[in-house]
Amino acid sequence: MFEFAWLWSFLFLPLPLLFRLLPQVKNQQMAALKAPILHFHQLPQHQQSGKKSIFKLLTISLIWLLLVISAARPQWLGEPVSMPTEGRDLMLAVDLSGSMQIEDMHVQGQQVNRLVMIKHVMQDFIQRREGDRLGLILFADTAYLQTPLTFDRNTTNQMLTEAVIGLVGDKTAIGDAIGLAAKRFDQKEQSNQILILLTDGQNTSGALEPMQALELAKQQGIKIYTIGVGADEMLVQGFFGFSKQNPSRDLDENMLTKLATETGGRYFRARDANELEQIYQELDKLEPVSDESLQMRPLTALFYWPLAIALVLSVLLAIQPGLSSLLNRGRL
């Protein structure tokens, strides 16, 4: 269906005629400031006579008409397209603290740090979220919203891929991440609001304590799934050779378990990429919530067509005296 978005723009159509009917300004300096289109009758008599004068007037009038049509925003509305009618609201909160650079994970046979492993596994998880709205929160010394809730999975994936350890500090503000998620979720009754929080440590920073943030999440009906990332042991080379150490000794599993269980979620332990993948498969089974049917109509803007024609006519009108002069010289 063809339509004009700003139909009221056609009220400007008689504007040049109104200016033409106004009394002539005696002050020549003021008259010089007027646009030629608005006082075409003031042109010298020899330029207003004959066919050239009529052609020029019609061309200027056509240019003005095309500009008004372009300003009215002509557009074409396509057939309605149905949007997904069920899904989840998933907010992903990813830890970017300094400890995430510990290389106790393996991806495709290579030893990598924890953040690289999370990015690798989460790419497929995000792409499987068709019909879900995804958001991304990154946190360290504080938490900030990298991607608001959106159906655009590619953008969410790209923002996670570009995340860098230490971008906002080296500490861990778990409480701030939960509090920010509580603020950013829509207040919808028919929406299962789920926060998936991945961290490898304990709360060491932020303005909001995790238990305070827990109360906010419970009041809003947010279900939290916490994932503790990090291996149980790794070999570390020292002065006397290799020794086994626990790189996850700072992981506060009691707090993460409490955050999950009191909101109806679960706590998972991801010691490697395979375990994290299994966790995401469990999250895939979460029951989506049906929502009202949504329809969208694809819109194609057409304003540039009359605008382009007006531009071409303006250029031809501007160079017309020069072309006439060249033709006259050729005849001579």
User: How does pLDDT run across 24-48, given as a tens digit for each residue?
Assistant: 544 444 444 444 444 444 444 444 4
- Does 274 or 35 have the greater pLDDT score? 274
Amino acid at residue number 317: L
What does the alpha-carbon distance between residue 164 and residue 106 come to, in Å, rounded to a whole number? 19
Q: Which tens digits make up the pLDDT trace of 109-119?
A: 888 888 998 99
Q: Which residues pair with 87 in a beta bridge?
A: 289
Q: What are 84's two structure tokens?
A: 């997904």
For 56, 120, 150, 193, the CA distances from 185, given in Å and listed in that order, are 60, 26, 11, 7
Q: Average pLDDT of 221-236? A: 82
Q: Which residues does 69 contact at the CB level (< 8 Å), separation at least 6?
A: 306
Is residue 4 within 8 Å of residue 76, measured between CB atoms? no
Q: What are 218's two structure tokens?
A: 């419970």
- Does 133 or 79 have the greater pLDDT score? 133
Neighbours of 121 (CB within 10 A): 21
Taken in order of first residue, the domains within the chain and their CATH numbers are: 2-78+298-331 (no CATH), 86-290 (3.40.50.410)
**154 band by pLDDT with thresholds 50, 70 and 90:** very high
Rounded to two decimals, the pTM is 0.61
Q: What is the 3-class SS of 52-99, one letter each residue?
A: HHHHHHHHHHHHHHHHHHHHCCEEEECCCEECCCEECEEEEEEECCHH
Q: How confident is the prediction for the chain on average, in pLDDT? A: 80
Q: Which tens digits make up the pLDDT trace of 297-329?
A: 778 889 889 999 999 988 888 887 766 666 566
Residue 330: the pLDDT is: 57
Residue 2: the pLDDT is: 86
Q: Average pLDDT of 221-237? A: 80
* Planar angle of CA 260, 277, 132, nearest 5 degrees: 70
**68 band by pLDDT with thresholds 50, 70 and 90:** very high
For 58, 262, 275, 324, the CA distances from 54, given in Å and listed in that order, are 6, 82, 81, 16
- Does 321 or 230 have the greater pLDDT score? 230
Q: Which tens digits make up the pLDDT trace of 188-214?
A: 555 678 999 999 888 988 889 999 999
Q: Which residues pair with 114 in a beta bridge?
A: none
pLDDT(280) > 50: yes
Token pair 């250029």 in the structure block, residue: 315
**295 band by pLDDT with thresholds 50, 70 and 90:** low
Could you tell me what percent of the chain has a pLDDT over 90? 31
Give the ranges where the chain is alpha helix by DSSP (H): 15-21, 28-32, 45-48, 50-71, 114-127, 153-161, 174-184, 210-220, 253-261, 273-284, 304-331
**18 band by pLDDT with thresholds 50, 70 and 90:** confident
Q: Which tens digits make up the pLDDT trace of 242-263?
A: 566 766 788 889 999 999 999 9
CA 292 to chain centre: 23
Is residue 210 within 8 Å of residue 175, measured between CB atoms? yes
Spatial strand order of the sheet with 2-4 comes to 2-4, 74-77, 299-301
- If you ran DSSP here, which 8-state letter would residue 43 be given? S
Is residue 228 within 8 Å of residue 279, measured between CB atoms? no
Helix (H, G, I), strand (E, B) or coil at 170: coil
For 11, 21, 37, the CA distances from 18, given in Å and listed in that order, are 12, 5, 12
Residue whose C-alpha is closest to residue 179's, from 132, 228, 133, 220: 220
